Amino acid sequence: DKSIFLINIGKNDGIKQEDKIDIFQKYTETNPLTGKVETHTRLVTKATVSDRIEDGKAWVVVQDQNLSTAIKLGDIAKITYTK
């Protein structure tokens, strides 16, 4: 099953249909050696841009339903550039 999500990247950012998007989450943890709180980023899943693209937003499709349930409001979407 597929899921769709709205992201805040759109035509004004150069996004196009079928572009690949990585979706990340930030999380914090306490370093057991230093006792300091550190912020990290982890990849949640990948998505593909749909044909629904506006100036400042676009809809993306996540293929894996299990991974899509981990996406939360405020996660970070980044365009994946390949050579």
Q: Determine contact, residues 21/7, Cβ cutoff 8 Å.
A: yes
What local confidence, expressed as pLDDT, does residue 81 receive?
Answer: 80
* Torsion angle (degrees, nearest 10) of CA 12, 58, 77, 64: -150
Q: Chunked in runs of 10, what are the mean pLDDT values of the chain (83 residues)? A: 92 95 96 95 95 96 89 93 74
Category of 35 on φ-ψ map: left (φ > 0), alpha (ψ -120 to 50) or beta: left
The pLDDT of residue 1: 74
